[in-house]
Structure 1
């Protein structure tokens, strides 16, 4: 009896098996770029997480919480907040705007510091306080810390992206090393730097395009553009102290990218009169964030604007580009406001992480942005009509606060006049609330707003109306019904 020949595996068979196997490998593992586009509801929702300051998980203590919270508070609280936000908002995209791990490079020294820290904690527990700068007591292994920080986003299978903060390089990886590690994680659309930019400062400068609804006239156009930049860490110029800034090479890349996107958007089919809106994300705020006071922003300002000590001119660069509608940053954890400067919203997200400095009793928070498309006369989805934003607090109810809308297609007066006319004519007020309009654009004439407010108040027999914080007029009934409008 002769020996049976062992089945041989030819090269073609081997390739076939490999290709078949790859059909079951997630796209993100293969490095295939995921497609971002508006959903069938005509919306695209972004969750912004700023200043997680994630370190070593359950062994990392919280900062600036009440003493009674300290024994059970750690990085796990930060992870839980990310998970709850994802579950509540179900975003289409998640943006992390800097400062994940922030550690000392010498682990032996860090262990010594940790011992001293625990000793001081025992002495000062009843008078818990800590300074604004959180540079030590953090991540022993940057890669492990990054993996843990982004784990909720990765587990959600939602596309996400990240930019660097000023602390991310203070552990065991350089700034370039951090971005390279991030780019290798699942579901991320982060990039180390754009391939077309041969010389560019920093790491993590890139853009992403959000396509129109599948099957619509804007299916093959970018209806919303996202720009991400590395705002640096600290000045490398001996004569200039303080934080870093967005350099000329980065601004040149931004200008060229914006111009290219605008040219593509203006071309047929569906040639447009103006550019698609752009949103810009980076960590350190621009000096222009100091242009506001409580009369012309929505949110709170509880600390100074920690921008670079020099103005690099990036705000002017964005203004000249003509497509940027809003800038979103982090860095100053106790600021969460949005203010409009010459047509561009400058917005903080507010501090998110529990190992980042904050204020006891002032909830950690995250910012949500929703871009909505306009319905065309044929019932299809068109270009972007409005951009809304709000924040959620890490409390029992994940309370949503400071809702704002930026509308540039329909005038604010027309929206208010139509809504209020219909309301007063029928006096048919909803049981829960009339409406909640808090607009970015503070251009409502008092001559229009006051009769509107008084008319609704009289018609609906509200118990009282009063002026409250930050230029908002609120009418409240016994049933807690509200109608909000912003006045200049």
Structure 2
């Protein structure tokens, strides 16, 4: 490492552990840059949709040439991959384009087994694990929330990392948006589009506050809502902590409607010995457009609730 500034990347649900014949390290390049492409809600498992999704992946990977691809959930549709053979077929298609290009990748996934194609060390990019988001807590049903014991784990691991790398920049990735994504859309400045109600947990178990208390977490990435793609923050609580949706990449289930097209969120990281690690982000869509998103001013709607899932 050139400096003590590094990236701390948390993928909820999966520790990336697959060993290769030779170790692969994820590091800033010689110019101090590192690019992440976030593929979310791929929903592989139906051939006629998979062909289209692979086409989107090819466009995005060829245009952006990322150093790492993060898959933030709903990578494979379980109902269409209910056998080992079907699951293997869908899985191979989901990661095939990264494999062809030898691009490191990792994912948020509740399935057992290996979930990445590189070996990890505490160098410039670290990936850690939280247990899967639980849909039930304290008797209430809703979209998956993070359990208190998982937040305890987060506090323990992030504190340990902060001691070793006091100036690191933390990035947290998971699938389901936190309740604060809904709150800040209405109360603070955001960038991007909200085309559906935020499907966040009914229970707020405090992960956002834990990230604020950590002090080094600067970016949160999630998926789940297929036609939301905005970034938001709380200027009063944590002005440097941004939370962003990805852009839906896959064609399974419901989809964006033009002028919103399938795509990916791109995150460009910059490592500077003087200013530390900073980032910029944009959407790249299947139309090959690089989209810097429009400003959304707070509308002060304070009574909207996280939507309950259909059961």
TM range (shorter): 0.7 to 0.9
Tell whether the 8 Å contact from 1:77 to 1:354 is kept in structure 2 after alignment.
yes
- Equivalent residue for 2:200, pick from 296, 303, 307: 307
Distance in 1 (alpha carbons) for counterparts of 2:42 and 2:163: 37
Distance in 1 (alpha carbons) for counterparts of 2:123 and 2:212: 21
What is the TM-score when the length of structure 1 is the normalising length? Answer: 0.52
Give the 5 Å matches for 1:53-202. Answer: 53-57=43-47, 60=48, 74-104=49-79, 141-164=86-109, 175=110, 178-183=111-116, 187-188=117-118
RMSD between superposed Cα atoms in Å: 2.7
Instruction: Note the alpha carbon deviations across 1:361-420, whole angstroms, 9 max, x for none.
Output: 2201200111112255xxxxx842x2111111111xx101126xxxxxxxxxxxxxxxxx
What is the TM-score when the length of structure 2 is the normalising length? Answer: 0.79
Distance 1:77 1:256, change over 3 A: same
- Say whether 1:358 aligns with 2:255: yes
Question: Counterpart in 1 of 2:135?
Answer: 234
Tell whether the 8 Å contact from 2:25 to 2:118 is kept in structure 1 after alignment.
no
- Say whether 1:277 aligns with 2:277: no
Question: Counterpart in 2 of 1:346?
Answer: 243
Tell whether the 8 Å contact from 2:20 to 2:118 is kept in structure 1 after alignment.
no
State which structure, 1 or 2, has the greater radius of gyration over its C-alpha atoms.
Answer: 1
Distance in 2 (alpha carbons) for counterparts of 1:402 and 1:248: 36
Distance in 1 (alpha carbons) for counterparts of 2:107 and 2:45: 17
Q: CA deviation at 1:339?
A: 0.7
Give the 5 Å matches for 1:410-425. Answer: none
- Equivalent residue for 1:34, pick from 3, 7, 24: 24
Tell whether the 8 Å contact from 1:45 to 1:370 is kept in structure 2 after alignment.
yes
Distance 1:182 1:143, change over 3 A: farther
Instruction: Note the alpha carbon deviations across 1:136-180, whole angstroms, 9 max, x for none.
Output: xxx97222211111111111111111002xxxxxxxxxx3xx241
- Say whether 1:402 aligns with 2:295: no
Tell whether the 8 Å contact from 2:226 to 2:256 is kept in structure 1 after alignment.
no
- Indicate the structure with greater helix content: 1
Structure 1: state its 5+ residue gaps: 1-27, 61-73, 109-138, 165-174, 190-206, 212-223, 267-274, 377-381, 404-467, 472-488
Q: CA deviation at 1:88?
A: 0.9
Tell whether the 8 Å contact from 1:225 to 1:278 is kept in structure 2 after alignment.
no
Q: CA deviation at 1:350?
A: 2.2
Q: Relative contact order (C-alpha < 8 Å, sep 6+): which is higher?
A: 2
- Indicate the structure with greater strand content: 2
Tell whether the 8 Å contact from 2:190 to 2:296 is kept in structure 1 after alignment.
yes
Q: Tell me how many residue pairs correspond in the alignment.
A: 274
Question: Counterpart in 2 of 1:246?
Answer: 146
SS of the residue 2:296 aligns to? coil
Question: Counterpart in 2 of 1:336?
Answer: 229
Distance in 2 (alpha carbons) for counterparts of 1:323 and 1:106: 39
SS of the residue 2:115 aligns to? helix
SS of the residue 2:94 aligns to? helix
Distance in 1 (alpha carbons) for counterparts of 2:209 and 2:163: 20
Tell whether the 8 Å contact from 1:52 to 1:356 is kept in structure 2 after alignment.
no
- Equivalent residue for 2:184, pick from 292, 301, 326: 292
Distance in 2 (alpha carbons) for counterparts of 1:284 and 1:401: 23
